[in-house]
């Protein structure tokens, strides 16, 4: 690997979560505009992180911090593996480990809201993880699990798989109707409730890395031989998906955890199945 590509990869690993931070700011702005408000500046998430880092730390026990740090490092490792063109499946499992670490952080603080939040986060994992796993296996079936070997054409062969990534992102972005784990105003902020100050910032940045990985998965669906078109198309696709989740967030109310799991395990898994079946039928030349 030549040095330039190496530097580019390192840059992407650093810039991708920052881009996610920016995207979250854009998200807050768009949401505000949809509600006829002015909304915060687009760089608001960075102000928040900066502020949190400057707060005095407060915690229940040190395990919380260990798990928040572990979540951050695992998510960063998953993203690094993804950017370096590594194995998608491994990256997925590593990212899943990061998500689990957050749950453990929530559980390790003995507090009622945190406990409920941890339980709900596990339910959310039960809802989105199978769909994400199947989406990745579908991509693997189409070509390779190695990100560096995945070419174009996914958008045409697996459109329904892309569609199932939308509800997955709705859960991960903590948006209605599937913001069950954090459920603001109901169980405060669920798994994050006992985190404060710098530790909350660590947990939040871990989430940015996780989102960067999943958005990265979305960008795989667009590919062009021209690098400029390719990058522009990837960004546009990611933005479209983000916009759809924002619209969904603003027109729905929170559903129960049971309905979330049922929806994801029927509609989500079903869409992947239909996509693979159609693909099989078309490839066999029935039509």
Of the pair 224, 280, the CB lying nearest other proteins is at 280
Using CB under 8 A, count the residues that bind other proteins: 90
Contact letters for other proteins, residues 20-39 (x by CB under 8 A): --------x---x--xxxxx
Cβ 154 to other proteins shortest distance, Å? 15
- Cis peptide preceding 170, ω within 30 of 0: no
Q: Is 123 exposed, middle or buried (CB count within 10 Å of its CB: 0-12, 13-18, 19+)?
A: middle
Select from 97, 176, 230, 252 the one that contacts other proteins (CB under 8 A).
Answer: 97
Report the site for other proteins in 62-91 (rule: CB under 8 A): 62-63, 65-66, 69-70, 73-74, 77, 81, 86-90
Q: Which of residues 108-127 bind other proteins (CB under 8 A)?
A: 108-115, 118-120, 122-123, 125-126
Q: Work out how close the CB of 232 gets to other proteins at its nearest, in angstroms, rounded to a whole number.
A: 29
| Residue 106 is a binding residue for other proteins (CB under 8 A) | yes
> Of residues 43-62, which lie at the interface with other proteins (CB under 8 A)?
44, 46-48, 50-51, 54-62
CA distance 279 to 270: 14
Q: Which is nearer to other proteins, 121 or 170 (CB)?
A: 121
Q: Is 214 in the site for other proteins (CB under 8 A)?
A: no
104 binds other proteins (CB under 8 A): yes
3-state SS class at 185: coil
- What is the closest distance, in whole angstroms, from the C-beta atom of residue 100 to other proteins in the complex? 6
Among positions 18, 93, 235, 259, the unique one binding other proteins when judged by CB under 8 A: 93
Question: Which positions ≥6 away from 150 have C-beta within 8 Å?
Answer: 139, 143, 144, 220, 223
Closest distance to other proteins from the beta carbon of 228 (Å): 29
Query: Shortest distance, CB of residue 48 to other proteins, whole angstroms?
Result: 5
Nearer of residues 115 and 221 to other proteins, judged by Cβ: 115
Verify binding: residue 257, other proteins, rule CB under 8 A: yes
CA distance 169 to 61: 31
CB of 112 to other proteins, least distance (A): 6
Tokens of 274: 């239909």
Give φ, ψ of 158 to 5 degrees.
-125, 50
Interface map 169-198 toward other proteins (x if CB under 8 A): ---------------xx--xx--xxxxxx-
| Among 261, 260, 263, residue whose Cα is nearest residue 271 | 263
**φ and ψ at residue 183, rounded to 5 degrees:** 35, 65
What is the spatial distance between Cα 152 and Cα 224, in angstroms, rounded to a whole number? 6
Facing residues of 146 across strands?
A: 87
- Tokens 């066999």 belong to which residue? 284
Sign of CA dihedral 16, 18, 20, 23: negative
Do the beta carbons of residue 218 and residue 162 sit within 8 Å?
yes
Instruction: Indicate whether 265 belongs to the interface with other proteins (CB under 8 A).
Output: yes
């Amino acid at each position: 690997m030549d040095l330039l590509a190496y530097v580019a990869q390192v840059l992407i690993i650093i810039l991708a979560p920052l881009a996610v931070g920016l995207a979250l700011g854009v998200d807050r702005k768009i949401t505000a505009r949809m509600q006829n408000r002015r909304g915060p500046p687009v760089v608001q998430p960075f102000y928040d992180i900066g502020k949190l880092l400057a707060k005095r730390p407060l915690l229940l026990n040190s395990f919380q911090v260990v798990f928040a740090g572990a979540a951050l490092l695992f998510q960063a490792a998953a993203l690094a593996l993804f950017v370096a063109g590594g194995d998608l499946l491994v990256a997925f499992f590593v990212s899943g480990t990061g998500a689990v670490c957050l749950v453990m952080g929530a559980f390790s603080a003995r507090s009622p809201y945190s406990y409920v939040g941890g339980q709900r986060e596990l339910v959310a994992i039960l809802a989105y993880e199978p769909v994400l796993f199947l989406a990745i296996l579908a991509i693997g079936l189409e070509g390779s699990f190695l990100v560096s070997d995945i070419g174009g054409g996914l958008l045409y062969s697996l459109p329904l798989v892309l569609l199932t990534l939308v509800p997955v992102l709705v859960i991960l972005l903590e948006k209605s109707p599937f913001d069950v784990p954090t459920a603001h105003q109901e169980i405060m902020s669920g798994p994050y409730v006992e985190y404060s100050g710098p530790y909350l910032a660590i947990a939040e940045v871990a989430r940015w890395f996780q989102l960067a990985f999943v958005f990265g998965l979305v960008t795989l669906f667009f590919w062009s031989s021209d690098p400029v078109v390719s990058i522009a198309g990837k960004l546009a696709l990611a933005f479209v998906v983000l916009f759809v989740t924002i619209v969904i967030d603003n027109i729905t109310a929170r559903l129960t955890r049971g309905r979330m799991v049922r929806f994801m395990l029927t509609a989500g898994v079903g869409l992947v199945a239909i996509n693979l079946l159609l693909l099989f039928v078309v490839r066999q030349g029935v039509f």
